[in-house]
Structure 1
Amino acid sequence: MSEPNVLYTTEGSVATITLNRPTVLNALNRDLMLELRQCFERARDDANVRAIVLTGAGRGFASGADLGGGGGQRMDSGTTLRTLYHPVITMMREMPKPIVAAVNGVAAGAGMSLVMACDIILAGQSASFLQAFSRIGLIPDAGATWFLPRLVGDMRARALAILADQIPADEAQRLGIVWKVFADDQLMAEAGKMAGKLSTMPTRAYAMIKQTLNATHANSLADQLELEALLQTEAGRTEDFAEGVAAFREKRPAQFKGR
């Protein structure tokens, strides 16, 4: 029986999703993307899961589309993107639970798009990031042209996309792509620690934070203020808010339940 293209494990309230084609640096093909979508659906629908870690097996996070196999070819790129990539990227951004990326090794092409779709991005010291598309006559996709300008600004996004330079983890952190960089042998422990902490926090509020941030670039200030007011009303009615206030008044650690 062949190994799954994506591994799914849970520990406590944290689900870890691991891209699992290490012999090809986790190149993205049809089967992997379908399994990845299933794993995110599983994490989304499991009430016991309150935070997610996304990483890659072996020496790399994801080297981009698998140009050596039929499932990853982009000669019918629009159909491939709409059916395989767009549902995953959309699901990640709409996921009502925080997603922590643990980038080990290279994240290139659509692999970098998967990273940027996460909420908090951690990287190992040897990680690198590459908008590889122009090297083979393509344009950035899987959300890259949406994420990059918002993370690094228009001028840097244009340079990264056009020049297709491979940038190391420290440079990615300086540009605003990565939140923190750790020694390679500490990356997964640190990602697990962060996800574990997030899973004990008011995750209903996290879901609403993601909703407001997703809307901010399309909304006017007035629309965004109204969305904040609507969601703050909803947040104020949660058990977590009541617990947070009670814990503050009683000078004790809060016990959030994500409700």
Structure 2
Amino acid sequence: MPLISAAIDIPTSYETLNLTHIKISHHPLGSPSATPVVVITLNRPEKHNAFTPDMADSLTQAYQMFHVDSRVKVVVLTGAGRMFCAGMDLDIGFGDGEGRAVDFRDIGGRVTLAMHRCHKPTIVALQGSAVGVGMTMTLPAAVRICHEKSKYGFVFTRRGLTIESCASYFLPRLIGFSRAMHLISTGGVFPPLSKHFGDLFTGVLPDSAQVLPRALEIAQDMAENTSPLASSMSRALMWEGPTSPEEAHLLESRVFHHMIGQKDYKEGVNSFFEKRKPQFETDPRESSAPNYPWWLEANIALEPSVSKGSKL
């Protein structure tokens, strides 16, 4: 499923890119070309990595590149400095609210959709506190690891705002409606082991310095041992699944039937019997199930406007 219609230029090394307010690294660091695991670092430590339109543009561009780059298998997202992300940079703000609402697209939503639509899974290493869009941008990720003594929250109602970044879709599905209602309605900030988060964080570590290494450990294991195609199709089945067990059975059966005929299945079985690591090489963009996407996609493109030079 293409993210955009235009062709995307893929660099030999992501470490050579100069993207505003983020940094992309290979793992291991300094590898001359893209590695199966790449690391995005929110890189405004002097502002606690506060979110900006430029950061949104950079993150969106990065995920569009990862989506089409077969060398990349797993993405790790973290922050520089003490905080993961302090939310939106309120010195910049969201604009003045002028213009038509139908023409507005929230910048956090652009990032979460790029992450969600990327075939490559994301592991978020929240090495410090995060609030607002610093939390909502992580919701489409496959895994979230955080620091036990940091604080996290969805503070929108305390700023006179509603939730964004597609959080109304992701958050209740991740932790249940009751917990999501409490977090959003109170706008409270809590430690990660608070019952309000449920199991949103699958790893909570006592030392902030442990968070990124643990995320990289999981990412490396996924890159070495899981099929990118099987991972992508499985996540899509959960996020974009049908509404009844019977519909799920039919859909899963069709996708499963497709997977049986793929090289990754044969490689997975052979590597198991031969007691070796698998070498999965199937590109999800080229070998997705024939009925993918199986859901009706909403058109999020802006309506075209008439240019000022038109003679109407």
What TM-score do you get using the length of structure 2 for normalisation?
0.75
Q: Output one character per residue of 1:150-188: Cα deviation in whole Å (capped at 9) or x when no partner.
A: 122212111111111111122269611100112211111
Cα deviation for residue 122 of structure 1 reads: 0.7
1:119-155: CA deviation from partner (whole Å, max 9, x where unpaired): 1111122332111101011111112222221122212
- Secondary structure at 2:201's aligned position in 1? coil
Q: How much has 1:3 moved relative to structure 2?
A: 7.8
Which of the residues 31, 41, 63 maps onto 2:64?
Answer: 41
2:216 equivalent to 1:192: yes
Which stretches in structure 2 are left out of the alignment for 5+ residues?
Answer: 1-17, 28-34, 283-312
The match for 1:157 is 180
Distance 1:99 1:235 in 2: 22
Match for residue 180 of structure 1 among 197, 203, 211: 203
User: Which residue pairs with 2:125 in the alignment?
Assistant: 102
Is contact 1:66-1:73 (8 Å) kept? no
* TM-superposed deviation, 1:14: 0.5
The residue type paired with residue 236 of structure 2 is Q
Q: Which runs of 4+ in 1 moved over 4 A?
A: 76-81
Matched, 1:55 2:71: no
> Which one is further off, 27-36 or 138-147?
138-147
Aligned equivalent of 1:167: 190
**Structure 1, gaps ≥5 residues long:** none
Secondary structure of the residue aligned to 2:75 is strand
RMSD across aligned C-alpha pairs, in angstroms? 2.3
Aligned to 1:6: 22
User: Which protein has the bigger helix share?
Assistant: 1
Instruction: Provide Cα deviations, 1:159-218, integer angstroms capped at 9, x if missing partner.
Output: 1111111111222696111001122111111111111111112111001111101112x5
Query: Whole-Å Cα distance in 2 between the matches of residues 124 and 79 of structure 1?
Result: 39
In structure 2, do the counterparts of structure 1 residues 154 and 175 end up closer, same or farther at CA, with 3 Å as the change threshold? same
Matched, 1:213 2:238: yes
Q: Which has the higher contact order (CA 8 A, sep 6+)?
A: 1
For residue 157 of structure 1, what is the amino acid of its counterpart?
Answer: A
Larger Rg: 2
TM-score scaled by structure 1? 0.90
Return closer, same or farther for 1:80/1:127 CA change in 2, 3 Å cut-off.
farther
Instruction: Give the C-alpha shift of residue 57 in structure 1.
Output: 1.1
Which amino acid is the alignment partner of residue 213 of structure 1? M
Query: 1:120, 1:179 within 8 Å by CA — same for their partners in 2?
Result: yes
Q: In the alignment, does 2:249 pair up with 1:233?
A: no
- Alignment equivalent of 1:68, drawn from 91, 100, 121: 91
Equivalent-residue separation in structure 2 for 1:84 and 1:205 (angstroms) = 30
CA deviations 1:84-123 (Å, max 9, x no partner) are 2323211211221111000121221111111112111111
Partner AA of 1:101 in structure 2:
V
Equivalent in the alignment of 2:15: none
Q: Structure 2 matches for 1:125-136, cutoff 5 A?
A: 125-136=148-159
1:124 aligns with 2:147: yes
Which residue matches 1:247?
A: 271
**What is the number of equivalent residue pairs in this alignment?**
255
Residue in structure 2 matched with residue 222 of structure 1 by the alignment = 246
Match of 2:130, SS? strand
